[in-house]
Amino acid sequence: MNCNEMLHNCKAACCKGVTFSRETIEKHKALIPADIHIVHIKKTGRYRFVTKDDYCAFFNRGMLMCKVQDDKPKICQAYGDESNIIMTCSWMSKKGRIRSRQERRKIEREKMRQWKAAVKRISQERINEQRAIIKHKKLAKNASNN
């Protein structure tokens, strides 16, 4: 997959909204600009180091390239894997075929659908966890009262 010929169109859309582990951040912290926005995602323990428009902190805007190209996080290395819709590039196929606008929209819609389903599932898991904790606390309180 040669992204160079597509960059002027896609503007490296795949470099938006990516999360990293603390280890990755520590390793490359010298490359992170000072005006970056940091979001800690409690559920996964990962971090998003992003610009105001959601680009990854390791993205070189001027040259449209990755600053940690030789040590990219696994998620970035795997991007383009078409067996997983979330990892599928909507601009170009893994073999380098430029996708039609219709195909791109279809992939983006499906990504959004799966993303929303995942958020819903995670939210429900959190609700269930909270319910279990409350139930456990009630049982413990009742037991100590008896």
Interaction between residue 49 and ligand SF4 (CB under 6 A): no
Nearer to ligand SF4, 14 or 46 (CB): 14
Interaction between residue 91 and ligand SF4 (CB under 6 A): yes
Nearer to ligand SF4, 37 or 126 (CB): 37
Interaction between residue 50 and ligand SF4 (CB under 6 A): no
Structure tokens at 2: 């040669």
The dihedral sign for the CA sequence 65, 66, 67, 69: negative
Q: Which of 46, 48, 56, 88 binds ligand SF4 (CB under 6 A)?
A: 56
Stretch of 7-15, 101-109, 111-119, 126-134 lying at the interface with ligand SF4 (CB under 6 A): 7-15
For residue 32, the minimal CB distance to ligand SF4 (Å) is 11
Query: From residue 69, how far is each of 58, 59, 124 by CA, in Å?
Result: 9, 10, 37
What are the φ and ψ backbone dihedral angles of 60, each rounded to 5 degrees?
-85, 105
User: Would you say 85 and 107 are in contact if contact means Cβ atoms under 8 Å apart?
Assistant: yes
d(CA 113, CA 88): 14
Q: Which of residues 110-129 bind ligand SF4 (CB under 6 A)?
A: none
Q: Write down the H helix ranges in the chain.
A: 7-10, 22-27, 74-77, 101-145
Q: Which residues bind ligand SF4 (CB under 6 A)?
A: 3, 6-7, 10, 12-15, 18, 56, 58-59, 66, 68, 72-73, 76, 79-80, 89, 91-92
